[in-house]
Structure 1
């Protein structure tokens, strides 16, 4: 099934399952307004985002994509290549070649990126995608691997096969899934180990491992992106084991990783015991903040990923997943939303002595959180049009925030952080190995299709 069909079916499934001819919301929105916004987003998606990156990022000398660009979007630095950003660039172009099928350049850019993933990022000797290579494709350092990196490789290759039908892409997708199954999957406690050496051996947590290190833990971030990858893979290869693992990840994320408040727990012992510093001193909590905090961006992104996965795997009337997704979205709006100008803060924490009140520990507003929120808020708008939280009003305010404080209308792309809280973001690199346009692409394309389909 093509992603366009999926978006439409997912949206209508939500509406038919939950909406019983409700009375008009006082902030009800018109078809004209939605279509006008869809046209605006369409222009920004292509000309501000995609055409800013490509062909500027096409590495014609060594293959693959350049990722580091300065504030004026000029390439800088050594341009080492990480699997995550290389995969995201490939995914962007695969999606763009579907979204604009008459624009043959995107098919060419996708084919170019796939060749680099297949020939340079994939370890021909040990299997798995390298975490990072030099610009030329030569592996760096110890050539370690992660479940997170391999998830993105699988995600991109699956998207590329969907549009190209290149048999080499399907072969690589199957090899990637099977490599994760053999080396990273935990047959006892389920889920996947994140850290692996170059041969695929799991790297355990040792007594000498620093308390602030992630090594040896299972985590939500690799898990949600494995869910994302398996969702795409199942659409091109509906293998029974792929379905089993996709369902396994839905259950783990929805039922173990999401806590009672609707936040994702970030790290776990191999048996899924949460890693928590809540009973430690305030100083210790801050020292270990990378392991234990609320990340509203991951929460609101995962709300969407769970709903998408549930739909693709074929769970009908899945009220449990929708309920959890709504709970995750609502706590983001209740705890992490800046109602004055819009936008979601980065991180927070429930310090024990604060009697259940949230403390915002990072009040800047990163680009990817705002992108993911835009998509999820629009889904919630059409699923719960009369909700007192007024999802459509929040969606419009989020869009206004993005347009005013994140989109660079002069040089293209988005700043890495909203200018209202972080004005120096205008001076920082517009692209780097962790910022490759993927969050914005997915959000804008999904929003365009929802806005056009619903009214």
Structure 2
């Protein structure tokens, strides 16, 4: 595993991060918003709130793990753009989208986006000790709790207009339903609050994390099938028979990270983490080493999406560290070989393709855009480096 991790670190530092660093917008701030399939940079493309937060997290974490100053310089640059352009100083919270100059384009507020801002700002604080950044992270946390949390249903709401009036959840719904509660938002609230706890542990935040873990176990996780539900109505009724394999394996290690960070001892949660990992390993992994996307009713989407492969790498590493079961080591090795052979864009100046179609061809889709950034694959690399360094 050490040799594999050395290869992964080289890939991070020589392939992934240099690709994104070229997008630094020195004139208007942040990173350029789009790289098309032919690797053309669109300097006037919109810039996403989630994307900017994910870039800020990436370069803050890359500096924390590697100590390389060039990553910290990019983190400073991204922090300034998020603070000055993406934060709504009148109504509070992070905008969904701004234009290339940093002017508001889509002013809706989403709990998912706010959570990524908390995630990024807390990581930036961890490496800079900027009290301003921590204060902003805590302000958004309080906003999430005051505006975004439904105490009666123990659920985080989804989408709001600029002034924080609830609106239909268009941005995180799909498959013909509009969901009032989503698994996706809840796992990323958990992720964000866990990172905020690393930066600034408080008893209040610890209790929120315990409550969130219980909600995942009681409401989102299906104890019979070992899958997570995806879309729910306001009463936590599932809206569609859907299995999202990438989200499940991602959630398994994110929940485990929370359990470790807050020092929680709970056998049923520990078992859930491993049951999810074993379930996805047995149900959705393919002979070529890859993990397919999802299943709706009896229909499989066998697209191999970039982030799904990245999260599976971490999920199986986490499961291997818990169990030492060689099945997880084998899955990691086969998946990494698949990523190198198919997902990595071997063109000069390329990064990772969005996905590989079931026929084996790359999907001709943008390489960089509001939903595809440095976050998933950089994080998988950084998790391997950090976990192996601790051994």
| Band the TM-score falls in, shorter-chain normalisation | over 0.9
SS at match of 2:150: coil
Task: Say if 2:191 is the partner of 1:236.
Answer: no
SS at match of 2:290: coil
Paired position in structure 1 for 2:100? 135
Deviation readout 1:318-362 (Å, 9 max, x if unpaired): 322221111111221222110x2110111113x4xxxxxxx4521
TM-score normalised by L of structure 2: 0.93
Q: 1:360 to 1:383 in 2, by over 3 A?
A: farther
Q: Distance in 2 between matches of 1:420 and 1:401?
A: 14
- Which of 88, 99, 103 is 2:65 aligned to? 99
Paired position in structure 2 for 1:29? none
Gapped regions of structure 1 (runs ≥ 5): 1-33, 277-291, 352-358
Paired position in structure 1 for 2:188? 225
SS at match of 1:140: strand
Paired position in structure 1 for 2:352? 414
Q: Distance in 1 between matches of 2:101 and 2:129?
A: 27
Gapped regions of structure 2 (runs ≥ 5): none
Instruction: Select the structure of larger CA radius of gyration.
Output: 1
Paired position in structure 2 for 1:355? none
- Equivalent positions of 1:244-323 (< 5 A) are 244-259=207-222, 260-276=224-240, 292-316=241-265, 318-323=266-271
Q: 1:360 to 1:273 in 2, by over 3 A?
A: closer
How well do the aligned residues superpose, as a CA RMSD in angstroms? Answer: 2.0
SS at match of 2:295: strand
Paired position in structure 2 for 1:347? 294
Q: 1:133 to 1:422 in 2, by over 3 A?
A: farther
Q: Distance in 1 between matches of 2:137 and 2:284?
A: 37
Which of structure 1's runs of 4+ aligned residues deviate more than 6 A? none
- Offset of residue 203 of structure 1: 2.6
Paired position in structure 1 for 2:56? 90
Which range moves more in the overlay, 415-424 or 248-257? Answer: 415-424
Q: Does structure 1 conserve the Cα–Cα contact (< 8 Å) formed by 2:247 and 2:308? A: yes
- Which of 25, 31, 34 is 1:59 aligned to? 25
SS at match of 1:361: strand
- Offset of residue 422 of structure 1: 4.1
Higher strand share: 2
Q: Does structure 2 conserve the Cα–Cα contact (< 8 Å) formed by 1:64 and 1:112? A: yes
Q: Distance in 2 between matches of 1:413 and 1:337?
A: 23
Task: Say if 2:348 is the partner of 1:449.
Answer: no
Q: How many residues align?
A: 386
Q: Distance in 2 between matches of 1:421 and 1:393?
A: 24
Q: Does structure 2 conserve the Cα–Cα contact (< 8 Å) formed by 1:345 and 1:360? A: no
Q: Distance in 2 between matches of 1:371 and 1:59?
A: 27
Q: Distance in 1 between matches of 2:49 and 2:283?
A: 34
- Offset of residue 254 of structure 1: 2.3
Q: Distance in 2 between matches of 1:403 and 1:211?
A: 31
Paired position in structure 1 for 2:133? 169
Q: Does structure 2 conserve the Cα–Cα contact (< 8 Å) formed by 1:365 and 1:421? A: no
- Offset of residue 211 of structure 1: 9.6
Q: Does structure 2 conserve the Cα–Cα contact (< 8 Å) formed by 1:131 and 1:149? A: yes
Deviation readout 1:117-152 (Å, 9 max, x if unpaired): 1111111111111111111111124x1111011111
TM-score normalised by L of structure 1: 0.81
Q: Does structure 2 conserve the Cα–Cα contact (< 8 Å) formed by 1:84 and 1:153? A: yes
Q: Distance in 1 between matches of 2:108 and 2:269?
A: 35
Q: Does structure 1 conserve the Cα–Cα contact (< 8 Å) formed by 2:302 and 2:357? A: no
Paired position in structure 1 for 2:275? 327
Deviation readout 1:256-314 (Å, 9 max, x if unpaired): 101121111112222322224xxxxxxxxxxxxxxx41110000000000000111111
SS at match of 1:87: helix
SS at match of 2:151: coil
Q: Does structure 2 conserve the Cα–Cα contact (< 8 Å) formed by 1:157 and 1:170? A: yes
Paired position in structure 1 for 2:78? 113
Q: 1:449 to 1:235 in 2, by over 3 A?
A: closer
